[in-house]
Amino acid sequence: MRKKIVAGNWKMNGSYELINSLVPALAEEAKQSQAEILVCPPSLFLGDVRRQAGERLLVGAQNCHEAESGAFTGEVSTGMLAELQLSHVLVGHSERRAIYGETDALIAQKTKAAIAAGLVAVLCVGETLEERENGRTLDVVLGQVKAVVEQLELADWSKLVVAYEPVWAIGTGKTASSDQAQEVHRAIREALAGFSQEHADAMRILYGGSVKAANAEELFACPDIDGGLVGGASLNVDEFISICRAAN
Ligand code: PEP
């Protein structure tokens, strides 16, 4: 039985005021939750959030650099994230692919660096509206997944989570229907089974894209959806806690 994960991606939002109201409440929630709860604040706040998170609330970064160290002004290495006692890092978020031009090859390198540092990489994949309308959803999504897993050893898969996030559903209020999401999640799991059925069965595949309290329960009830990656709604404590409870 795969343990569900509900992850909050704050993106470039948040403040000490938000941290002080949200993190203690989530730390309490995490103590009694059957799901794993993860928050990914901006890197500047990671140390403070980690200190307030207690033992059960997981804290992750939104991005990392692929190199161990060096002349990369403004960047943060996976070793530094591990030193902060973080457990996860998002890689390949569609905003990083679209705005910062991150390629599948770079995302594979970041994933390897994260795993080598002992972090769990949350690999984000998803198609644009145009790609969906052209019937290319599975080509695009499975291509993004394979580009990374082909670079990993099977033993590394326990340090990988996949997040299917249709780009057209991120921050738009348009959620994929549970049928649309389940279809892609199932296809991802089947593609992973081409490498190893056992590892594919164990892989957590999250859905992201305008998840909110009102749709979380239906999405999380799908057989291949193992939780959610939540953007906007993760900034509201009541809404995010309701989404976490939907995963129980
Ligand atoms: C995201 O940023 O990963 C995301 C899914 O955002 P939202 O929930 O706001 O659509």
Q: Give mean pLDDT, residues 42-61.
A: 98
Q: Is 93 a catalytic residue?
A: yes
What is the band of 145 on the pLDDT scale with cuts at 50, 70, 90?
very high
User: Using a 6 Å cutoff on CB, does residue 244 contact ligand 1?
Assistant: no
Residue 146: C-alpha distances to residues 15, 82, 233 (Å):
37, 26, 30
Q: Give mean pLDDT, residues 142-152.
A: 98
Percent of the chain past pLDDT 70, that is, above it, reads: 100
Ligand 1, pocket-test mutation among 211, 239, 240, most atoms within 8 A of CB: 211
pLDDT at 20 (0 to 100): 96
Give the active site residue among 66, 95, 131, 165.
165
Domains of the chain, CATH where assigned: 5-246 (3.20.20.70)
Inform me whether the pLDDT recorded for 142 exceeds 90: yes
Q: What is the pLDDT of residues 177-208, one digit of tens each?
A: 999 999 999 999 999 999 999 999 999 999 99
Give me ligand 1 centre to Cα 229, in Å: 7
pLDDT at 1 (0 to 100): 85
pLDDT averaged over every residue in the chain: 97
pTM, 2 dp:
0.98
Q: Is 75 a catalytic residue?
A: no
What are the strands, taking DSSP E only, across 101-211? 120-125, 160-164, 205-208
